[in-house]
Structure 1
Amino acid sequence: MKKIAYLLLFVISFSCVKEKEKTKITLEEVTNLGFSLQNKSDRDDISAMNELYDVKAFADIFLLKSTDKEIHEFNAGFFNGFSRSFNFGEMLVEQKSEGGSYEFIRAYEDEKNNFHLLFRLYGEGLNYHDYLVKEINGELKIVDMYIYMSGEYLSDTYKTYYKSILDKSNVLTKDLTGITSYQDALKLIEVKELSAAGKFKEAHKVYKTISSSSKITKAFQLVNIMVTFNLSEDIYYKAIKDYEKRFPNDPSLYLVSLDGLILNKQFDKAIKSIDKLDELLGGDPFLNYIKGNIYYFEKDYESALGKYAIINLEYPDFIDAYDSALGIYLETNNHEKVIEILELYVTRFEIDKEELKFNLSEFSPTFIKTKEFKNWFSKK
């Protein structure tokens, strides 16, 4: 009986989709799926990315399983709207729109024999997506994603929203307009839209009208942190401290609290946060770049350059690490190293010398007057 109960719990917890695995999924197959998503993401191919995500299997994770007719009808209506609006590919493209990169790190099998894909999103900030992969009707599909910045699975985020509406709605009339949680969800969408348009004061004003019961939830607090980041250090740091108080030991803290720690010059704690994140991820060499930046803010230039050198070896085409090292060499008047990096910009990244001169004139006008720069610039 215990075994049967366990199997039933497993099915209810993860999916009600009937799957028949003809063969065991291999790590190689999951890895190929990761490279496929990487390729489609690089091309911003929204429809192709959507084909990799099974929306029904995803929704089945958080929709309440019941034989009750009213709940069944409510679920049908909810899924109908959800399936039309949920656009996985569009979501990724939007997150990359500010010049962000999306990189496949690895595939792995967890202790419960579930397969995952780990991706890094880097642009305006740092985030990680951990995709849960299942075989659906003989094909490997993504059925959920753990978002490190939010510290929870996407299905849990939707489950909170879904349950709040289900618990307070009249499932017979499906009248949601008078439900506070529904109104708050609409306001949160408005906050995000205003923020995306750069209207951060207006976004914060709308956020303050959201009910207290919604504002204490993780999803709402994270949006508030993103908005206040663009307003003032005081309210931004207050938002972070409130989040830390409500969600201690949450994995998202390693990312959410990082800017606040740096702003308050708590560099040792910032480094420890990155170390904890690295351990949680199972290792990501790219985090050496973030550590390098922390050391840079601390003015520990030797340690910073050491981390940037690691990045140069691991990711030779990642230009940001060279930019950061260039800033240190300019600040410390190491003209020889500055010239080395400028030459690298020309030979590897094919940046025109005139463009480099213009950029240097903006943030280091004294250097372009030096003998070293003039000699380098005059060479063909």
Structure 2
Amino acid sequence: MRKIILSISLLLITFCLTAQEKKIPQKYYDFVAKLDSSINVGDATFWANNSNKKFFLNRMKTNINHPLNDSQEKELTEGVNYLVKMTPKKLITNMGNDGFFENIDLSRNEKGQIRALFRVTFPQGGLNYQDMWLGELNNKVVINDIYVYSLGEEYSKIMSRMFLLQLDKKRTEQFMAFNRAKMLIKKGNLKEGKKAYQQLPTSVQNKKTILFNFLQALMGQDGEEANEMYLEFLTKYTRIYPNDPSLALIQIDYFFLKKEYAKGLANINQLQKKLKGDIYLDFYKAIIHSAKGENELVIKLMQDLISKNKYINMAYSTIIDAYYATKNYKKLLQYLIEFCEINSLNPEDIVTPEEFKDFLASKAWKDYQAKQKQKD
């Protein structure tokens, strides 16, 4: 009996030690919370000041796997310093006023690395995820590297390829030519931009980074021509890189634009499993159901999403549209008022006659206006 008790005690001690080893120290949670809040208020300094530049530099050197002279070593070091400073600044700029940076998970992976998963939302429904590898330097939590979901690889690998371009003068010239093509797209000169892109060597046109940057430029353009070109390049990207990890995010758009809704929903469900069940992806499911005219499913998804996070503005606009489509003006008004209270807005400024004509003529809206007049 004593042996059994002793064995059980040893097992318990071992279990407790293992649990302690796996437990993430509080300072990591504090770091993630600070990083989260700093980016959302437009402050890039915390990210920049707490990046492990030496670690990142060494990973880049490993990826480059190319002898560097003193001048190139200096250029690489300066490049890393610049990247660390500019990466959070660029992210904040791209997020604009409507974007959001939110931590959705902090855990250890199978290698024992502490990873912080962040969701990044951009204006007009743009979405990305960043899986940060956190470590310690001088007893402080730092960012070692970042896995970027939209590109399906770590930031150090992406930047290593960019640096290698600079070592080859011919490739650098080609990259500069692509940048000119991309800028034409960003300025709305779609035909000229596409023509400039097609003048690049096929091997350059088909590079993953080149294609992705072109897609990003097209995302910022409106109109049928831009949508057609966006789908064209999405199709090309999917064909050339059929097994690339980045497709998990990219195919949200691809399947939607192709109207392959069943595949789109299946893709989102798979992605949701990888991303710790992130509820935000329900918004993209709702968009698909809305396109199919399944407004009751849209409403259910958005009700659940809002109940878990009432600060996702697009969830409100989506559920308001669904209630308008089903002529449930009483519920539309409820969510409209809630949305306006959260964002300090006036309902009259949201529901325009062009988009909500029937609602503005409804009893629910007229009763609301009458009550507001009584308050005044």
Could you state the TM-score of these two structures normalised by the residue count of structure 1?
Answer: 0.82
1:55 matched to 2:53: yes
Compared CA separation, residues 78 and 283, structure 1 to 2 (3 A): same
Distance 2:65 2:28 in 1: 35
Partner of 1:112: 111
Q: Deviation string for 1:89-120 (max 9, x for gaps)?
A: 21221221262111111211111111111111
Alignment of 1:26-65 (within 5 A): 26-64=24-62
The CA deviation at 1:198 is: 4.8
Distance 2:87 2:253 in 1: 28
Distance 1:329 1:66 in 2: 54
The CA deviation at 1:238 is: 2.4
Secondary structure at the residue paired with 1:133?
strand
Contact 1:27–1:115 (CA under 8 A) maintained in structure 2: no
> Which stretches of structure 1, 4 residues or more, deviate above 6 A after TM superposition?
65-69
Gaps of at least 5 residues in structure 2 are 1-20
Distance 1:67 1:339 in 2: 61
Distance 1:350 1:153 in 2: 39
1:278 matched to 2:272: yes
Contact 1:265–1:298 (CA under 8 A) maintained in structure 2: no
Compared CA separation, residues 80 and 377, structure 1 to 2 (3 A): same
The CA deviation at 1:284 is: 0.6
1:90 matched to 2:82: no
State the AA in 2 paired with 1:226.
Answer: Q
The CA deviation at 1:37 is: 0.7
Secondary structure at the residue paired with 2:279?
coil
Distance 1:38 1:375 in 2: 42
Gaps of at least 5 residues in structure 1 are 1-22, 169-178
Partner of 2:11: none
The CA deviation at 1:193 is: 4.6
Alignment of 1:337-348 (within 5 A): 337-348=331-342
Alignment of 1:33-182 (within 5 A): 33-64=31-62, 71-84=69-82, 86=84, 87-97=86-96, 99-123=98-122, 124=124, 125-166=126-167, 168=168, 179-182=169-172
Alignment of 1:291-310 (within 5 A): 291-310=285-304
Say which is worse superposed, 364-373 or 69-78, in terms of deviation.
69-78
RMSD value over aligned CA atoms? 2.7
Secondary structure at the residue paired with 2:51?
coil
Partner of 2:10: none
- Greater per-residue helix proportion: 2
Secondary structure at the residue paired with 2:200?
coil
Partner of 1:209: 199
Say which is worse superposed, 68-77 or 222-231, in terms of deviation.
68-77
Distance 2:302 2:67 in 1: 60
Contact 1:228–1:236 (CA under 8 A) maintained in structure 2: yes
1:375 matched to 2:367: yes
Partner of 2:14: none
Partner of 2:13: none
Contact 1:53–1:141 (CA under 8 A) maintained in structure 2: yes
State the AA in 1 paired with 2:138.
Answer: N
Contact 1:25–1:135 (CA under 8 A) maintained in structure 2: no
Contact 2:56–2:156 (CA under 8 A) maintained in structure 1: yes
Contact 1:109–1:115 (CA under 8 A) maintained in structure 2: yes
Say which is worse superposed, 135-144 or 294-303, in terms of deviation.
135-144
Partner of 2:210: 220
State the AA in 1 paired with 2:142.
Answer: K
Percent of aligned positions that are identical: 21
Distance 1:190 1:275 in 2: 38
Say which is worse superposed, 96-105 or 299-308, in terms of deviation.
96-105
State the AA in 2 paired with 1:105.
Answer: I
Contact 1:204–1:227 (CA under 8 A) maintained in structure 2: no
State the AA in 2 paired with 1:272.
Answer: A
Distance 1:67 1:208 in 2: 31
Say which is worse superposed, 360-369 or 320-329, in terms of deviation.
360-369
Contact 1:132–1:145 (CA under 8 A) maintained in structure 2: yes
Could you state the TM-score of these two structures normalised by the residue count of structure 2?
Answer: 0.83
The CA deviation at 1:63 is: 1.5
User: Given the alignment, which residue of 354, 357, 360 partners 2:352?
Assistant: 360
Secondary structure at the residue paired with 2:112?
coil
Partner of 2:228: 234
